[in-house]
């Protein structure tokens, strides 16, 4: 049987700052992220299933990604948890979506975070093979399962 890959694209707005970075990205700034999620598997062959012929229903994938990733990161300010605690407290008092993570919120680290959250929710017969995260029109990174 053939292995088929499917990809769904998502977009979200997110701000971040890179703690102790030696360039402009140490300042709070935002991006309009574009994210491609690629899954691989054999299409389901079950005449009694409404998902017959699908690797995964795109609607189910959309729901999963919205629950795990988009609802958390869209219109959020993401900061390294080692950022000054007083600053984080002030931000949380004034804004709703301040997300702290245990890593530097670079595109590369966000990819690993996203991949780990999605992989936990996939059906056993479906594999996450690639996550592409586009930070700008000219810059992106990819996480690929080897």
What's the pLDDT score for residue 27? 96
Show the domains of the chain with their CATH numbers.
Answer: 4-14+26-74+106-144 (3.30.479.10)
Per DSSP, the residues of 36-79 read EEEEEEPPP--TTSTTTT-SS-HHHHHHHHIIIIIHHHTTEEEE
Say what the alpha-carbon torsion angle 104, 75, 118, 137 is, to the nearest 10 degrees: -80
What's the pLDDT score for residue 89? 96
Neighbour-count burial of 143, counting CB atoms closer than 10 A to its CB (0-12 exposed, 13-18 middle, 19+ buried): buried
Q: Please give, one letter per residue, the 3-state secondary structure of 74-140.
A: CCEEEEECCCCHHHHHHHHHHCCCEEEECCCCCHHHHHHHHHHHHHCCCCCCEEEEEEEEEEECCEE
What's the pLDDT score for residue 1? 66
Which residues are annotated as catalytic? 25, 75, 135
Q: What are the pLDDT digits (tens) for 75-131?
A: 999 999 999 999 999 999 999 999 999 999 999 999 999 999 999 999 999 999 999
User: Does residue 74 carry a pLDDT above 70?
Assistant: yes
Share of residues in the chain with pLDDT > 90 (%): 98
């Amino acid at each position: 049987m053939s292995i088929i890959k499917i990809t769904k694209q998502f977009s979200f707005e997110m701000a971040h700052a890179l703690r102790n970075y030696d360039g402009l990205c140490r300042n709070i700034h935002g991006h309009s992220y574009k994210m491609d999620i690629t899954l691989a598997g054999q299409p389901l062959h079950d005449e009694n299933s409404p998902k017959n012929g699908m690797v995964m229903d795109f609607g189910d994938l959309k729901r999963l990604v919205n629950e795990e990733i988009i609802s958390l990161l869209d219109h959020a300010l993401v900061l390294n948890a080692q950022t000054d605690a007083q600053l984080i407290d002030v931000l949380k008092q004034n804004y709703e979506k301040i997300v702290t993570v245990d890593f530097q919120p670079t595109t590369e680290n966000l990819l690993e975070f996203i991949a780990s959250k999605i992989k936990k929710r996939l059906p056993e017969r479906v594999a996450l093979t690639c996550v592409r995260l586009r930070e700008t029109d000219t810059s992106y990174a990819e996480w690929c399962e080897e």
